[in-house]
Structure 1
Amino acid sequence: MAQHGENVDGLRALIQSHPLIDNHAHNILSAQHVLNYKSYPLESVTSEAHGEALRQSQQTLPHHIAVKQLATLFSCEPSWEAIKAAREEWVTRDYKGFVKKCLEGTHALLLDDLITDSDIEDYKWHDHFTASKTKRIVRIETVASKVLDDLSVAEQTSSVRPTLTRFVQFLKQRIRRDIKDPEVVGFKSVVCYRTGLDVAVTPAPTAPHAADYLAAVEKSFQRIVRKGAPFRIADKAFNDYVVTLTLDVIQEAAEWSDAKTKPIQFHTGLGDSDLDLVRANPAYLQPLITQYKKIDFVLLHSSYPYTREAGYLASVYPNVYLDLGEVFPMVSRDAEESILRQSFDLTPTIRLLWSTDGHFHPETFWLSNKQFRDALETVLVDYVQKGSLTLEQAKQTTKDILFNNSNVLYNLNLPPPKDKDMLQLATRSTESEATLDLDTLVTHNPNLVVWVQWVDYTATVRVRMFPLREFVKIVKNQRRIGITLAVLHMLQDDLLAPGGATTGQFYMRPDLSTFTRNAALNSNSATVMTFWKDENGKDLEGCPRTTLHRVVTALKPIQVTLGFEIEVVFLRKSDQDGGEWKPLTKTHSWSNMTTDIRQNALSILEEIVTTLASIDIHLEQFHAESAPGQFEFILPPASPLAAVDTLLKARQTVQHVAEKHGLRATLYPRPYPFAAGTASHAHFSISPTSHEEPFLAGVLEHFPSITAFSLSQEISYSRVASGVWAGSEWVTWGSQNRETPIRKIEAGHWELKSIDGLANMYFAMAALLAAGLIGIANETPLMHADCPVDAATLSTEEREMLGIVQQIPKTLEQSLAALEADKDLRRIMGPRFVERYCAVKRAENQKLAAMEEGERKQWLIERY
């Protein structure tokens, strides 16, 4: 429940002010036509009706609401006559000023500019009123009509009759050209208006009815041709064919390119009176959505009155998006709120888009945006006050619907609105919340034991165990878990680093989104990760999960994704040689399936895969790595906090399966000096990619400080060497270069190689992303060029030409010193935390340095 009015007021302010991307609109009338009410009735701003029905629309609730709101826009009496008079004066005096007012708050427009070819302003004209350049949405039926026009003209000059074959050839050329056109960001079909959404899927050439299908298309095509110009594509077989032909071309482009394909919008639901409302149901599109999995479908106009059907499609198909446009201001306020609530029933909020369907009259944009913001405010504030959403979730939903989702879907690569200082935001406290049906869990598994976990500064996973009924009390704030503050200075063997004290405590708050049963253990138990709170319930500086979450929040609306590779070496303790750990497999090489692996490791690897899948962790792949007994398991990408949580859970599960077979799965960085080491490579991506250069520049500038967290023990630096495929020795980056610490994979997607399993991954990722955040906030220029080779093999002059001037630290102390000197990174991570962390790492290093090498290796293998 929201407890503080000022917090809800902040949400209200965000909804009313956040810049928006209008993902579906049309051109505005030119000044000389905007007062031509005979051709363009002003009443159409609140109705799709025509003629007498349009005149009667003045007696509808949407019209009455619009009159009151437009009266505030024009500062006049709330009557239709007064509005038209004030409007005429403003338009005559300052039309551009009028349009600017109506488009206030619009960051970018995506225009279907083929609705008509007369009386309107060119799409580029609209750039005067938005922060970003206007982009085009291509209406395919209009393109098809123009192709027929061209073929008809050609017939008159060359006596060559239009044929379906020639039409197909020219339409494909037009669509391919638009796919390549950077001004075009998507396509649109109005087949709903013309012949309905029950579009027939083109059969395969070998299908029994393929010939009959093509014959029907041919007859349909000829009927349209015989009617002559101007051509209107409104004959079902041919209309369906135009749609599927376009989808074939778009999907073909997607299959031949790594670039994100351009989506296609479909008019669905209410519209002009010439449509068949029954066949305007988006459910008819299900066969197409299933057939064309690589294409994103946008269901326009809220699909009203079929919003729930559209929401279902968007919930079960990852390539379906629901646009919330046009119903604002076409329906009553109650209906607007109901439509919004229905859209939230099932649709993932990252696949909800906003549009005005603004067209002709500038007021259509103003009214739509005003009414949508008001309705969204009512609905989201209500969800927050009733506890359905946290404030943070409601704010993120707002940003996603208004800006982020369209920015990503249409590959606009627009920079996020600079509504707040990102570095300042990074110092604020945030937390995530989740829900879990604890009552049902208690009923069905009352003897469950919950392991409440946290990760300390030595990357040791510590745990308190609670019977389920006691855990429920903790979740319901009926009791608290107090943990001594000494943990903040504690080493693996419970000794304290200098500065540690035995007084004071913090409190762990479970994050129910991480609640997962323990697999491969003879135990009726589950684990849950935590946030750390102080005595007053506020976030504690130095909580690993809070630190990462705070940095990710500061980066928004930039979307960050992480993915990890788990590398482990499977060891079996020898009955001889003093119980020394020996590799499970010796005849072993990278990505090889040797006899040794098949006989001794394959069944264990497959058991790991199925066990992880049983707790909903689905590996992307797994394979043999280079060193004896070494294997790699690749996890799927996820949001940062969820990705690290999953990494830790997956590692624990790998350990559990290994222990069942008397093995140790170790993360030790360099078990054998003659073989490759063991890393925990991290993939990190940002979207949009427009910030990739300053982000990468920030990472490289602060790289020595990042290694204080990513290479967190002295043994970690045994991998900082040339020729061992671990990122080599110099701070740089390279496209698909595995001998640079940062490997660029594609735009906005990199791999961090200078990291291993001894790191507290929450801190390592927080430091990495914080460095990128600093780069974006400071607009740091990227001075490093793309390095094509191992920088260690270059001369000093060759490195300097590439901007490579700094080595990766070769010792833990060098990394800690760099962190202590890095004011920007220290400020974001937390100054007191950094001081404690460095004290712990130095005490840990001193302890390990005092051990004999063999003892130290075994000590670490048994703990990591």
Structure 2
Amino acid sequence: MDLSLNDLRHLVQTHPTIDNHAHNILSRAEVTNYAVYPLEHTTSECVGASLSSVRKTLPHHRAVSQLSRLLECDPTWDAVTAARGKRVQEDYESYVKLCLQGTEILLLDDLLLDDGIEPYTWHDQFIPAKTKRIVRIETIAARLLQNYFTQQPEQRAKLVDNSQGSAACLLQQELSGFKKDFLEEIRKCVHDPDVVGFKSVICYRTGLNVDPDILGKIDAVASSFLRIITKGGSFRIEDKNFNDWLLLTTLGLLTETNRETGISLPVQFHTGYGDSDISLIHSNPAYLQPTIEAYPDVDFVLLHSSYPYTREAGYLATVYHNVWLDLGVVFPMVSRNAQESILRDAFDITPTSKLLWSTDGHSHPESFLLANTQFRAMLEKILVDYVENDDLTLPLAIEAAADILYNNSNKLYSLNLPPISIAKNSEKTSELSPSMTKYELNRPFHHPVLDQLLQNNSDSFVWIQVIDYTATLRLRMMHMSNFLELVKKERRLGLSMGTITMLQNDTLTDAGTATGQYYLVPDIASLRPNIGIESSNSLSVMTFWQDNAGNEIEGCPRSTLRRIVNKCETELGLNLKFGFEIEIVFVKAVVNPANNETEEVPVTTNHAWSSMTTDTIQVVPVLEEIVLKLKQVGIHIEQFHAESCPGQFEFVLPPERPLVAVDTLIQARQIITNIARQHGIRATLYPRPWPNAAGTASHAHFSITPTNREDAFLAGIMRHLVSVLAFSLPQEVSYARVAQGVWAGGEWVTWGTENREAPIRKVSSGHWELKSLDGLANPYLAMSALVAAGYLGVAENLELTHKDCHDDAALMTPAQRKELGITTPLAKTLDQSLQALQADMPLQRILGTRFVKNYCCLKEAESKFLASMPERVRRQWLIERY
């Protein structure tokens, strides 16, 4: 049989699907009850206040467009909901059948909701094969507990009131009785012909980092069991020891059943993306690896594409015979570009025989239709791409499509459905798929700015940037065609090792070497157009530093920050965000008639904090232009205003993930400087440009979630803060701001709620501001040191001995400071902070001891170099560079 690409397209668009993971559809009475079941949930997991922003997302806009065609209405949300409501009232069953078109069978996790949904058997009328069930083990356990203790409340009272002595023995008996009842329920499900698998939501409850030894820790399990009983209510299973025990107990029973009877029922696991209940860090399926190895007779299904951990899941499905990767939920929950990227990640190494399709459809029938429509379109695009590029032959691509859509699930869940014959069809039927050009099929990566430039065939240039230890921004420029080769790893960009520890005047310090080189690896996520440079069609991108073998270079500022943030997330379960305040002093050059020399003066002298004077109002057009230009490249300024120092203004950036936040800070400063220059003025970060006025900082907000370990995190910062100053106040002139009464952080190691005379101002629970940071610092390194200090506090479980300081510690008596635990003054010179860093071995070990040694050596050389200049010359020299 002669096959063509049209046959592949036709098969992808028409082959029946086995939806291996979905949930029940709402009843007619509830499907338009949007207050309880928001229709926005078809494209988002958001709940509560965050739901209001869903309508501004690409997935939502795409869904509106597709649903408007289905409902034959205008492509607006109001029109879609109105037309939908009419269809539901006229003939709900026909509408549901339309939304489920192409689905051969549904495997439903029917324990997600109790109320408002139709039973799983109701769905049979819309599909050819009888609906099957996936049983959620945590719900079974919770119902057992609720039923038992509702009927026998006196037993719960005994356990709650007495957790010692004879009650401890009673607790063990209750746990043993529960285990017996739970296993009996699981056995019933195993032998129920309507049940084809189980599901665990342990990822939502306590994370995938299951304790492999929990079955032997019966006392810990009993204590965990008691906590759940004590809480009462719905007896939600969300205490780690008990959750882990429940899962491994189930896996043990399934192993035993498989070996004794040959019956094998897979266990599905929520992994990756979810709503705000989830710990995204502990949703990485890599945490399941020890469990997967320990239970080789149980099949593990990693649900929801494991996004954003698709590659990790693909690896597990590749190296373990009992792991399968489900491709659901991201259709239609993320944008089209993201869907393509995720699906390509799944194809990277995963055998096509281990990939499964599901919609994760739930509540609203449209969630099934949108998922199927978008998945078929993307599967068609990628498989056609692979055929055209000789990655797959046409017969193999057709086989892969049929396996993913149908055959793999049919085999895994032992559904015994008849195979679907693959017939030739010479006509292209994929009208819902996007039109495809040669460019779209061959592009190796996706980034909105870069894609647009490529599509327009622009002769663009890219600035490949590094920020060194002196906070000097250095770069190489290349044409877009050469940059693409760099991104594709068809070429490398190497720099001399000596440039890492070089002074601003390009002098090599004793810490450096002229031998060897390191390589710049661009981070596409940081790519942004340059703004404010006349006649320049260019972009800038930040980089990581790697050695010849592709390993991280110790002391790479961006790698250091990323590594330490990852340590907080993976080891401590702490998620961080940063937000920066950009303080800039605008100056202009004037000729001093007294000596006929050019000097810098502030653009405004009639100036005060947050005021609008006759001077300030003349600068407003420049300020507004800056904010609008930043918005053009995706940098959104939350607010801006005049600061205290003459010519000084502040631009407030929103909170972001740490690496993104610092990248944005650097790029925003560049754009501000460029636009100011177009207006004939200079923007400077110099810490104290006018001796009798307030200084210029770069205040950094930082926050952790969850906040239950905030005291230990803050205790670590208090212990190591003087060492951190070596990075956050990195030049001698920086210490002109370590003074009393100038709202710059004061002179003592302390913290205080809304206290601007403390180096660490507490804003709210888990949210602080670092005030001892200025624009001469390399912000990647300064924030790395700060987070490393917090990490040490949590890792060592430090007690917070510093009490909340509400006043200026410099004005307190020694006794008052002692009462608040304030014992250490801040460094007043760079030498003092460097000495503290050199003695701080715990902080050095996290940052990298060799890096810290090189950094201190460079800073000492830089200090001598700057000290050799006359003060006026040094001031002008720094203003011109920072």
- In the superposition, the TM-score normalised over structure 2's length comes to 0.56
C-alpha distance in 2 between matches for 1:484 and 1:52: 69
Give matches, 1:549-564, under 5 Å.
549-556=562-569, 557-564=573-580
* 1:570 lines up with 2:582 in the alignment: no
1:129 is matched with which residue: 225, 230, 254? 225
Question: Does the CA-based 8 Å contact 1:454-1:530 persist in structure 2?
Answer: yes
Q: CA separation of 1:434/1:711 partners in 2, compared to 1, >3 Å: closer, same or farther?
A: farther
Q: What residue is the counterpart of 1:808 in the other structure?
A: 826
What is the identity, as a one-letter code, of the residue corresponding to 1:589? A
* 1:592 lines up with 2:614 in the alignment: no
Question: Does the CA-based 8 Å contact 1:434-1:512 persist in structure 2?
Answer: no
What is the identity, as a one-letter code, of the residue corresponding to 2:613? T
Q: Report the 3-state secondary structure (helix = DSSP H, G, I; strand = E; otherwise coil) of the residue aligned with 1:702.
A: helix
C-alpha distance in 1 between matches for 2:647 and 2:123: 77
Q: Report the 3-state secondary structure (helix = DSSP H, G, I; strand = E; otherwise coil) of the residue aligned with 1:595.
A: coil
CA shift at 1:133, angstroms? 8.2
Q: CA separation of 1:663/1:377 partners in 2, compared to 1, >3 Å: closer, same or farther?
A: closer
* 1:487 lines up with 2:583 in the alignment: no
C-alpha distance in 1 between matches for 2:202 and 2:553: 39
Q: What residue is the counterpart of 2:177 in the other structure?
A: 95
Question: Does the CA-based 8 Å contact 2:311-2:345 persist in structure 1?
Answer: no
CA shift at 1:567, angstroms? 0.5
CA shift at 1:662, angstroms? 1.1
Q: What residue is the counterpart of 2:242 in the other structure?
A: none
Q: CA separation of 1:657/1:801 partners in 2, compared to 1, >3 Å: closer, same or farther?
A: same
Q: What residue is the counterpart of 1:166 in the other structure?
A: none
Q: CA separation of 1:629/1:539 partners in 2, compared to 1, >3 Å: closer, same or farther?
A: same
CA shift at 1:696, angstroms? 0.3
CA shift at 1:500, angstroms? 1.7
Give matches, 1:847-862, under 5 Å.
847-862=865-880
Q: Report the 3-state secondary structure (helix = DSSP H, G, I; strand = E; otherwise coil) of the residue aligned with 1:764.
A: helix
Q: CA separation of 1:563/1:108 partners in 2, compared to 1, >3 Å: closer, same or farther?
A: closer
CA shift at 1:436, angstroms? 2.3
CA shift at 1:60, angstroms? 8.5
1:472 is matched with which residue: 462, 484, 489? 484
C-alpha distance in 1 between matches for 2:565 and 2:714: 16
CA shift at 1:499, angstroms? 3.0
1:765 is matched with which residue: 763, 783, 786? 783
Give matches, 1:58-457, under 5 Å.
94-98=176-180, 106=202, 128-129=224-225, 374-375=302-303, 380=310, 384=314, 388=342, 435-436=446-447, 438=450, 441-457=453-469
- Give per-residue Cα distances to partners, 1:464-510, cap 9 Å, x unaligned: 00100000000000100001000122000100111321110000000
* 1:750 lines up with 2:782 in the alignment: no
In structure 2, the gaps of 5 or more residues are 1-45, 48-108, 138-171, 187-198, 207-220, 239-263, 284-294, 316-339, 350-443
Q: CA separation of 1:502/1:781 partners in 2, compared to 1, >3 Å: closer, same or farther?
A: same
C-alpha distance in 1 between matches for 2:749 and 2:683: 31
Q: What residue is the counterpart of 1:618 in the other structure?
A: 636
Q: Report the 3-state secondary structure (helix = DSSP H, G, I; strand = E; otherwise coil) of the residue aligned with 1:561.
A: strand
Q: Report the 3-state secondary structure (helix = DSSP H, G, I; strand = E; otherwise coil) of the residue aligned with 1:792.
A: helix
Q: CA separation of 1:635/1:333 partners in 2, compared to 1, >3 Å: closer, same or farther?
A: farther
What is the identity, as a one-letter code, of the residue corresponding to 2:692? F
* 1:651 lines up with 2:684 in the alignment: no
CA shift at 1:441, angstroms? 2.8
CA shift at 1:134, angstroms? 7.6
* 1:546 lines up with 2:559 in the alignment: yes
Question: Does the CA-based 8 Å contact 2:511-2:858 persist in structure 1?
Answer: no
Q: CA separation of 1:585/1:504 partners in 2, compared to 1, >3 Å: closer, same or farther?
A: same
Q: CA separation of 1:477/1:558 partners in 2, compared to 1, >3 Å: closer, same or farther?
A: same
Q: CA separation of 1:676/1:45 partners in 2, compared to 1, >3 Å: closer, same or farther?
A: closer
Question: Does the CA-based 8 Å contact 1:435-1:513 persist in structure 2?
Answer: no
C-alpha distance in 1 between matches for 2:121 and 2:621: 76
Q: Report the 3-state secondary structure (helix = DSSP H, G, I; strand = E; otherwise coil) of the residue aligned with 1:560.
A: strand
Q: CA separation of 1:738/1:371 partners in 2, compared to 1, >3 Å: closer, same or farther?
A: farther
C-alpha distance in 2 between matches for 1:184 and 1:746: 30
- Give per-residue Cα distances to partners, 1:414-436, cap 9 Å, x unaligned: xxxxxxxxxxxxxxxxxxx9842
Q: What residue is the counterpart of 1:506 in the other structure?
A: 518
Q: CA separation of 1:130/1:853 partners in 2, compared to 1, >3 Å: closer, same or farther?
A: farther
What is the identity, as a one-letter code, of the residue corresponding to 2:591? D
Q: What residue is the counterpart of 1:678 in the other structure?
A: 696
C-alpha distance in 1 between matches for 2:683 and 2:120: 76
Q: Report the 3-state secondary structure (helix = DSSP H, G, I; strand = E; otherwise coil) of the residue aligned with 1:695.
A: helix
- In the superposition, the TM-score normalised over structure 1's length comes to 0.57
Question: Does the CA-based 8 Å contact 2:136-2:201 persist in structure 1?
Answer: no
Q: CA separation of 1:133/1:719 partners in 2, compared to 1, >3 Å: closer, same or farther?
A: farther
C-alpha distance in 2 between matches for 1:735 and 1:44: 48
Q: Report the 3-state secondary structure (helix = DSSP H, G, I; strand = E; otherwise coil) of the residue aligned with 2:709.
A: helix
Q: CA separation of 1:582/1:537 partners in 2, compared to 1, >3 Å: closer, same or farther?
A: same
Q: What residue is the counterpart of 2:541 in the other structure?
A: 528
What is the identity, as a one-letter code, of the residue corresponding to 2:703? S
C-alpha distance in 2 between matches for 1:825 and 1:468: 40
C-alpha distance in 1 between matches for 2:880 and 2:832: 27
Question: Does the CA-based 8 Å contact 1:729-1:807 persist in structure 2?
Answer: yes
What is the identity, as a one-letter code, of the residue corresponding to 1:670? R
Q: CA separation of 1:127/1:739 partners in 2, compared to 1, >3 Å: closer, same or farther?
A: same
Q: What residue is the counterpart of 1:661 in the other structure?
A: 679
C-alpha distance in 2 between matches for 1:64 and 1:840: 65
1:727 is matched with which residue: 728, 731, 745? 745
Q: What residue is the counterpart of 1:693 in the other structure?
A: 711
Question: Does the CA-based 8 Å contact 2:175-2:225 persist in structure 1?
Answer: no
In structure 1, the gaps of 5 or more residues are 1-22, 25-42, 69-89, 111-124, 139-182, 187-331, 356-366, 395-432
Give matches, 1:619-638, under 5 Å.
619-638=637-656
How high is the sequence identity, in percent, across the aligned residues?
A: 45
C-alpha distance in 2 between matches for 1:520 and 1:668: 21
Q: What residue is the counterpart of 2:73 in the other structure?
A: none
- Give per-residue Cα distances to partners, 1:804-854, cap 9 Å, x unaligned: 000000110111111111111101111111011111111000000111100
Aligned residues: 543
CA shift at 1:446, angstroms? 2.9
C-alpha distance in 1 between matches for 2:118 and 2:533: 66
Give matches, 1:775-814, under 5 Å.
775-814=793-832
C-alpha distance in 2 between matches for 1:466 and 1:487: 19
